[in-house]
Amino acid sequence: MKKFLIIGLGNPGSEYENTRHNIGFLTLDALAKASNVVFEPGRYAMTARAKIKGRTLILIKPTTFMNLSGKAVRYWMQEENIPIENILVVVDDIALPFGAIRIRGKGSDAGHNGLKDIQQKIGHGNYPRLKFGIGNEFPKGSQVDYVLGHWNNNEQLDLPVLIEHCVKACQSFALAGLSLTMSEFNKK
């Protein structure tokens, strides 16, 4: 049975629950719900296992806080013996307009501390990621407040459909592979 590690980046704790920086957690919560599984505490992460057409998806939401996400990613890759091409990191991206998603097979951390830590812990940036655009509608010097801020009312209205789109992209990654998923989801 083929295994995949789907990682949603975010920060644990109720104060971060519905913030832009936690789109990875929100996406994995929706993926778990669609798969009828629940998260349980695990080492360095909340974890859940979902089955989809003969594949196992190991869902992790690191409990190490965003800036130390690599610790959880490295541990679960090794623990489950999952090759780098079978991991997908779901992360927020201020360089993309709100709601846009981009799936890449590799790349730089682009200044994102969660991706930076993953790259440091696994030794390279050659891993698949799904970037969810949160936009950059903030005054100069207010980036931290913006990404750790809550969604505005208009964003809240659009989020359910956008998160469902991300869930479908995660499922496609496991079923159809990176190339087909990029072709299908990067154009929308």
Encoded amino acid at 127, one letter: Y
Distances (CA, A) of 54 to 24, 51, 86, 170, 181: 24, 7, 15, 15, 18
Q: Which amino acids are annotated catalytic? A: 21
Which tokens is 11 given? 């920060």
Which tokens is 64 given? 């190490």
Q: Give the position of tokens 């959880």.
A: 72
Cβ-based neighbours of 157, under 8 Å, separated by 6 or more = none
Q: Give the position of tokens 């159809």.
A: 176
Q: How far apart are CA 152 and CA 128, in angstroms?
A: 29
Nearest in space to 4 (alpha carbons), one of 63, 103, 105, 88: 88
In contact, 59 and 174? CB cutoff 8 Å: no
